[in-house]
Each structure stands twice: as structure tokens, then as C-alpha cells.
Amino acid sequence: SYELTQPPSVSVSPGQTARITCSGDALPKQYAYWYQQKPGQAPVLVIYKDSERPSGIPERFSGSSSGTTVTLTISGVQAEDEADYYCQSADSSGHWVFGGGTKLTVL
Amino acid sequence: EVQLVESGGGLVQPGRSLRLSCAASGFTFDDYAMHWVRQAPGKGLEWVSGISWNSGSIGYADSVKGRFTISRDNAKNSLYLQMNSLRAEDTALYYCAKGGAYDWGKGAFDIWGQGTMVTVSS
């Protein structure tokens, strides 16, 4: 079955840049989406179609794509950005798949 | 206000059935695909099922295919998930999510409910 691979954890100090990667064979052909989930809360969409930012999401959140890897970048990380982040894309049959999630720790 | 509110979760024995509901408000429900996504305790997100705007196209994860049935009632702005032959591994928080326009295979999940917990245990 298709898998999206994320690092389990990323740690950064406030004000630094956090980069969270997501790898999958179908990513060159399928859009990727990113969700933020804080403890006890529902996921929130932060990036869609690889690099588009929904209204209301701070400009410090950005997305990029290169080959089989997509990257969520958070510039000038703030304490409130500490959360789990999940990438999402579709497999060859169009079924949705989520990455395993990355826990972002703000030191 | 755009809102999704799930209900119907609870404790159920293995092999039994449960039906989840999701009430939508604040957007034109029948213009969008809808999805169910689950999250086992302490684990990541898992897509369960999606349905197109007019119920003409439906998709299921392999883990639930043949046991779960998704449906919608556009007149009632509601989404449903009928879960049969439940297993311990189906224990999770079940989220309802708004998908892209019309087709369940396209578009971001841009609105999520708060979820309803399903526990499968004897």
C-alpha cells in the first residue's frame, strides 16, 4: 500500500525556521496538503495544492515540492506552532493517504 | 459559521454495528464531497471514506471496505457512516471533514468537526 513518510519529530528554537518533509512516490503527480493538529483539537488545513495557503493561515507557513518530496516550512517559529503536522496526498487509485505525522517541538 | 458536528459514537462490542452522523451548517452542503477520517488513540490520521456531492461516487480505505457504508442526505445537510462487524482496531475518534467541490478524490479537507469517539470492546 502507498505510504507517505515523515520524520517523527522536529525541534527548533523560537524564531528559527522549521522544515518538515514528506516523501512519496506519487507526489510528482499528486498534490500534497498539510494539516496542523494541536492536542485535543481537530486538524486544521495549513497548506493545500503543495504551496497554497488558506485564508487566515499566517504567512510564515509555506509549502514547496521537489520530485518525490514535499516540504512544509515554518519561518520564524512561534511557541503556538508547537503541534503535530500531517501531510496528505492521493495514491494511484485516488484514495487519500496521510503521512505518519511529525511532532514539532519549540524549544 | 461553517460547522460540522459529529454524533453517534460510543462503546460497542466486537462484531456489532454503529451509525455515525455529521450535521453540516454554514455552507452549501450539496456542492461538496465529504469524508470520514479516524484517529486511533495516540496515533495518526487515517482516511476512512469519501462521498461525492450527489452520492454518485464513493471510496473506502481497504481497512473498512465491505464493513462500512458512507451515505449522505443533502436535504438534511447530513453525512453518515454505517459501521458493521466492528473490530477492536476500529477504536478511534471519527472526524467528519468537508472535501473539495463535487468529487471526493479532489481537494483539501478544509473544515473538520470535533469528532465522535468509537470504542470497540467487550
Q: Are A95 and A3 in contact (CB under 8 A)?
A: no
Q: Does B45 touch chain A (CB under 8 A)?
A: yes
Q: Give the residue from chain B lying closest to A34, CA to CA.
A: B108
Q: What is the pLDDT of residues A83-94, one digit of tens each?
A: 999 999 999 888
Q: Among candidates A32, A34, A1, A5, which has minimal Cα distance to A100? A: A5
Cross-chain Cβ contact B113/A96 below 8 Å? no
Q: What is the pLDDT of residues A7-63, one digit of tens each?
A: 999 999 999 999 999 999 999 999 999 999 999 999 999 999 999 999 999 999 999
Q: What is the pLDDT of residues A56-81, one digit of tens each?
A: 999 999 999 999 999 999 999 999 99
Q: Are B116 and B7 in contact (CB under 8 A)?
A: yes
Q: What is the pLDDT of residues B45-100, one digit of tens each?
A: 999 999 999 999 999 999 999 999 999 999 999 999 999 999 999 999 999 999 98
According to the model, what pLDDT value does residue B79 have? 98
Q: Give the residue from chain B lying closest to A102, CA to CA.
A: B44
- Taking contacts as CB-CB distances below 8 angstroms, the residues of chain A near B114 are 42
User: Shortest Cα distance from A80 to chain B (angstroms)?
Assistant: 20
- Taking contacts as CB-CB distances below 8 angstroms, the residues of chain B near A35 are 45, 109
